[in-house]
Structure 1
Amino acid sequence: MVEPVRTRGGIRGVAAESVLVGAGGRAILLQLAHPAVARGVARHSDFVHAPLRRLTSTLDYIYLVVFGTADERASARQHVERAHAPVRGPAEDGAPSYAADDPTLQLWVAATLYDSAMAMHERVLPPLPDDEAERVYREYAVLGEALGMPPALWPATRADFGVWWADRLAELPIGDDARRVARDLLHPQGPGAPVWLRTVMPIARLLTTGLLDERQRAGFGLPWSPRRQAVFEVVMRVTRILWPLLPPGLRHAPAIRSLRRHRSRSRRG
């Protein structure tokens, strides 16, 4: 058993719950809604052709940064830095410049991970006391800091974050690059999309779209209806009832597997 998932409280107590993976699609789409992120992904990433790779690499990064040793956190950062090094491009034809090591983009990515995790947490897990929720929020800054984001960029409190986040969402355009990548992501095809993945994509699309707000759905061109809303609410209600009944080994399985996989590779050199 991997010891860190037994840690209580703070970001570890939240991030260990694999039900939050259900908000991964929302986080990725919100990342793409930033035009600079969308340009970088559209021009440098192959995750549309290998749709599990981005989600898996993001989860591995989160679990190593949150649960790993100091050496493992450093390894995660070095891996991301190598992958991000070539991801940069100039402004052109009215589109913004982009660079994966831009601290403001690191802030944006970390913010989408935090807000999406909380969006799912609030729907299916018991509410956090205010002091614990504040602690979780402060500790989520590590996901940006491990990439190089200056700590001062992370809003100081949840209330500050709420104001900053609302302002960013209100002014956030969702452009053609974002729509194109999101469409391919939510409807995977080709050899990188195994049959089982295409089989589970309807529920993934339901969760992703249901966790977005109306403006974001419209921006991405994602269909929604009262019937879809009703199905989404049923799924959330059933998950909220059943999740606490599952043993920790199942609830924490992605974190356990991720850490074991990384440590096995490290031992093999």
Structure 2
Amino acid sequence: MGVPEGEPDPGLFGPASVTWQLHSDPVMWIGGVRALYLQALHPRAVRGVMQNSDFRADAWGRLMRTAAFVGTVTYAAAPAAERAGARVRGIHRRLRAVDPATGEGYRVDEPALLLWVHCAEIGSYLDVARRSGLTIPDAYADAYLREQRTAARLVGLDPATVPGDTAALAAYFAGVAPELAATPEAADVDDFLRRPPVSALLVPARRLLWRRVAGLAYATLPPIAHELYGRPAPPPAVVDRRLRATAALLRAVPAGLRWRLPPRNILKAMDRLGPTSRPSPSTLVRTAAILDESGDKATGNSHE
């Protein structure tokens, strides 16, 4: 359904969605790092990255581009989000990789690889958000996963093939687990995330801030990831306490200040839709819209 003439475009999700609220929380950065750790354990997926880019030279740029894409898809008007998706699909369509063990060539936009990247990302966002202290009942978690089928469509997936609730997502991860492995490429990603190259002036900040963020992201990974990477993690209860404490510090920074950082997606959305569109993850239970069984948005606003 399109947007009535004269009314501001709420985008692909809109202020009534779980996505709108959840993606504004600063703990999403920890979820993003967790996703990188998890994504790197799929051999074909990580080789597709490593063989088509200089990950070590541009890892920061890759992380920022991913964050910018998520922000655009979440908060921009629908045409801008669709254009962002078309750009991503166009890039992926041209890329190929080779399995060094068999010599087999393959496309990096194979549906199975796109699905892994998508599920690792949204699963990480949701897991970190819930464990960081946000109140997200199961129904809202399921609503978020159904909404994210729209994001999956933008990168080239058939939404019907994408897990739309937490049970389906758990079943997907259980099914793909035998394919995961600790490859040399995964070790490179791990090494970068633990000790990213920075200038001498930023080494103290890396030790004080980044080590905590990356360490927490790693600790929140599922046990199979810890086994493959070969490093243990504290008990889940300890991890959750540390995550909640870190999240409290991040949330203590005024949202208006955080949102002023480029590309200012949230402030642009509020300019477009008005102050009532301001996202507030802490009030997610009161403001998020529950999707019905068919996955249609409660607002009736659909671009699929």
Shorter-normalised TM range:
0.7 to 0.9
- Paired position in structure 1 for 2:96: 88
User: What is the aligned counterpart of 1:51 among 44, 59, 68?
Assistant: 59
Q: Which residue of 1 aligns with 2:264?
A: 257
Q: Residue in 2 aligned with 1:151?
A: 159
2:146 and 2:165 in contact (8 A); partners too: yes
**Structure 1 gap ranges (5+):** 262-269
Secondary structure of 1:89's partner?
A: strand
Q: CA deviation at 1:234?
A: 4.2
Length-normalised TM-score, structure 1: 0.80
Residue identity matched to 2:218: T
Q: Does 1:133 align with 2:133?
A: no
Residues 75 and 260 of structure 1, relative CA distance in 2, 3 Å threshold: farther
Q: 1:73-222 residue pairs with structure 2 within 5 A?
A: 73-94=81-102, 97-189=105-197, 195=203, 198-199=206-207, 200-222=209-231
Q: Distance in 2 between matches of 1:136 and 1:86?
A: 31
In the TM superposition, residue 150 of structure 1 has moved relative to its aligned partner by: 0.9
Distance 2:260 2:104 in 1: 39
C-alpha distance in 2, partners of 1:87/1:145?
A: 19
2: CA distance, partners of 1:32 / 1:184: 12
1:251 deviates by: 6.4
Deviates more, 1:126-135 or 1:49-58: 126-135
Partner-residue secondary structure (3-state), 1:126: coil
Shift of 1:190: 5.9
Unaligned runs of 5+ in 2: 1-9, 269-304
Shift of 1:223: 5.3
* 8 Å CA contact retained: 2:40, 2:46: yes
Cα gap change, 1:85/1:185 in structure 2, threshold over 3 Å: closer, same or farther?
farther
Which structure has more helix as a fraction of its residues? 1
Distance across 1 between alignment mates of 2:162 and 2:198: 39
Q: 1:150 to 1:254 in 2, by over 3 A?
A: farther
1:175-206 alpha-carbon deviations (Å, 9 max, x no partner): 22212232123322266x95476343211221
Question: Match of 1:265?
Answer: none
| In 2, Cα distance between equivalents of 1:195 and 1:81 | 36
CA contact (8 A) 1:35 1:96 kept: no
Length, aligned pairs only: 258
Q: Percent identity?
A: 25
User: Which residue type is aligned with residue 209 of structure 1?
Assistant: Y
| 1:45-67 Cα shifts (integer Å, max 9, x gaps) | 22321331111111111111121
- Superposed CA deviations along residues 86-134 of structure 1, whole A, max 9, x for unmatched, are 4212444237644222122111111011110111111123332333222
**Which residue is 1:264 aligned to?**
none
Deviation at 1:9, TM superposition (A): 3.4
Task: Give, in whole Å, the separation in 2 of the partners of 1:29 and 1:240.
Answer: 19
What RMSD, in angstroms, separates the aligned Cα atoms of the two structures? 3.4
Deviations 1:183-237 (A, max 9, x none): 123322266x9547634321122112211133312312345467x985x444323
Q: Give the superposition deviation at 1:70.
A: 2.0
Is contact 1:38-1:178 (8 Å) kept? Answer: yes
1:32 Cα deviation from its structure 2 partner: 1.2
Within 2, Cα distance between the matches of 1:160 and 1:150?
Answer: 15
**Structure 1 counterpart of 2:38:** 30
Deviations 1:211-269 (A, max 9, x none): 1133312312345467x985x444323245556666442565668625679xxxxxxxx
